[in-house]
Structures are given as C-alpha cells and as structure tokens.
C-alpha cells in the first residue's frame, strides 16, 4: 500500500484531530478485546468495532481501501495465527490457543489514526506469549526513537535490536508509514535500519510504527483474496502498532485511550 510521496507538515490543530481519531482507534481496540474469546468469529469482532466509529463521529480508514477493484470489506483487519497483516473479517472462529492481530484505523474530520495489537485467545504456548511480548516491546523501543532530531534509521534499528536475541523473523516486506490526511503517506518506516541513517525527523511529522515479528522466517505470501498476508512457513506472527505525532511539546502517542507524551 503506498500513498503520497510528499511529507506534509501538520499543525497543532491537525494533531488535535489526529488525537481524536487515535482515541477512536483505542476504543475500537477495547471493544474488540472485550468480545474476543473462543467461539467468536472475526466478523463479530468487526461488528464490535463498527459501533465505536459511530460513537466518535469517525469514519473507517480501512473500509473500501484499495479502490473499486478489490475494496477492503471490514473496518478492522483480523489476522489470526500465521496471518501477518490485512486479514479480512469473516467466518473464521477463534479457538483456544489462537492469537489474532487486530488493526484498526479511524478518520476524524479528514485526519487518520492507525494502530494494531495481537492478543492471545485462551491459553497459548509460552513461545507464542514471548512473541507477543517481544513484538510489543519492539514497538515501544521504536516509538522512543521517534523524536525531532533523530533519523528514521534510529527507529528501525531500535525495533530490530529487540528482536535480535530471539529466534524471530522481522518482516521486511511490510513497513510502517507516515500518516495524516491519508492513512499511508511518505515516508516508509521500516522495522530495520542503521542508527543515524535515513530521513531526519522534524516537528509536524506523524508516523505509524508497526513491527511485524514471526516465530519462523521473515518470508510472507499473499493469499488468493489478494489481501491476507501470511507467513510462508505457517509460523505464528504478531503485529503491534501505534501512531506517534512529533509535536512542539514532544512526541505524542495518539492511539491510546489518553494520548501519551513520550
């Protein structure tokens, strides 16, 4: 998925709208978390998230994404087990021992928020618990580097460093991104990189940082629905994402119930 190549500087007023979109995304996450249990289908999760959009006066960033050829049919992506990202909500019923990645996006007065998390359904294997814990920790390590004066390579290097001691594949085919009036804007924000390299981060930018870590290799395949990305080896995959705003007052994670200044 690619958007504009232009990096636009956001104002404080723009960021205020992105914070409302972000709070809507956080509430969509909470609604999904509350109903995800064995026996529930991924389309049930989508239905729970739809109600929240209406409450916040937001539209979905995902519904219809991709254009008339193959519009995305959900307001969230639901990616169980070996699915990495972009899974379509549907008949799949969650079972004890599954994991499911939930990605949600909302638009408030034209401004986007985008965030994802992976949750365990019932009891999961220890190595799977570790995968989730390491992926979320990598996200926060990346967010900590998202500050004015740093470079994009600092984010990628920090994410990669958390994965390094573990037998984990860091997905390289899909990456984080700039975000604002479009969900996917320039620049790309890879989950790998070199400290001190890449684009200089400046006030007025906003990024979605989103490590995708696999228990097996980093290789991925797209299914026949032309959306769902799965691991090539069938190993479980986790995905954690937040939107971060580079403001005059510091970096703010907007996709939490309460925006958090880092």
191/65 Cα distance (integer angstroms): 23
Binding to Mg ion by CB under 5 A, coded x per residue (else -) over 183-212, reads -------------------------x----
CB of 194 to Mg ion, least distance (A): 23
- Between residues 101 and 124, which has the closer beta carbon with respect to Mg ion? 101
Q: How many residues bind Mg ion (CB under 5 A)?
A: 2
CB of 115 to Mg ion, least distance (A): 8
CB of 211 to Mg ion, least distance (A): 11
Work out which of 114, 136, 160, 218 binds Mg ion, going by CB under 5 A: 114
The gap from C-alpha 55 to its chain's centroid, in whole angstroms, comes to 22
Query: Given the rule CB under 5 A, which of 25-33, 59-67, 81-89, 114-122 is the region that contacts Mg ion?
Result: 114-122
Q: Which helix (H) or strand (E) holds 189?
A: strand 185-189
Strand-pairing partners, residue 85, are 229
138 and 163 in contact (C-beta within 8 Å)? yes
- Between residues 42 and 101, which has the closer beta carbon with respect to Mg ion? 101
For 14-43, the DSSP string reads HHHHHHHHHHHHHHHHHHHHHH-STT-BHH
Q: Please, is 119 exposed, middle or buried when counting C-beta atoms within 10 Å of its C-beta (0-12, 13-18, 19+)?
A: middle
Query: Given the rule CB under 5 A, which of 31-39, 65-73, 81-89, 107-115 is the region that contacts Mg ion?
Result: 107-115
Q: Which residues bind Mg ion (CB under 5 A)?
A: 114, 208
């Amino acid at each position: 998925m690619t958007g504009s190549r232009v990096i636009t500087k956001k104002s404080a007023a723009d960021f205020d709208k992105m914070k409302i979109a972000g709070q809507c995304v956080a509430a969509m996450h909470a609604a999904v978390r509350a109903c995800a249990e064995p026996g529930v289908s991924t389309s049930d999760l989508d239905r729970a998230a739809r109600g929240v959009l209406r409450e916040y006066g937001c539209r979905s960033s995902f519904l219809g994404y991709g254009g008339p050829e193959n519009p995305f049919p959900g307001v969230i992506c639901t990616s169980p087990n070996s699915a990495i990202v972009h899974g379509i909500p549907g008949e799949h019923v969650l079972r004890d021992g599954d994991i499911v990645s939930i990605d949600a996006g909302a638009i408030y007065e034209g401004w986007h928020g985008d965030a994802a998390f992976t949750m365990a359904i019932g009891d999961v294997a220890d190595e799977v618990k570790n995968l989730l814990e390491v992926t979320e920790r990598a996200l926060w390590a990346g967010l900590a580097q998202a500050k004015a004066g740093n470079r994009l390579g600092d984010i990628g290097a920090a994410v990669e460093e958390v994965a390094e001691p573990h037998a984990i594949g860091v997905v390289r085919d899909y990456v984080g991104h700039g975000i604002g009036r479009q969900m996917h804007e320039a620049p790309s924000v890879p989950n790998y990189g070199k400290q001190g390299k890449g684009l200089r981060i400046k006030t007025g930018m906003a990024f979605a940082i989103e490590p995708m870590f696999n228990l097996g290799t980093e290789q991925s395949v797209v299914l026949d629905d032309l959306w769902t990305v799965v691991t090539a080896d069938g190993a479980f995959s986790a995905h954690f994402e937040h939107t971060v705003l580079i403001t005059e007052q510091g970096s703010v994670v907007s996709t939490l119930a309460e925006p958090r200044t880092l």
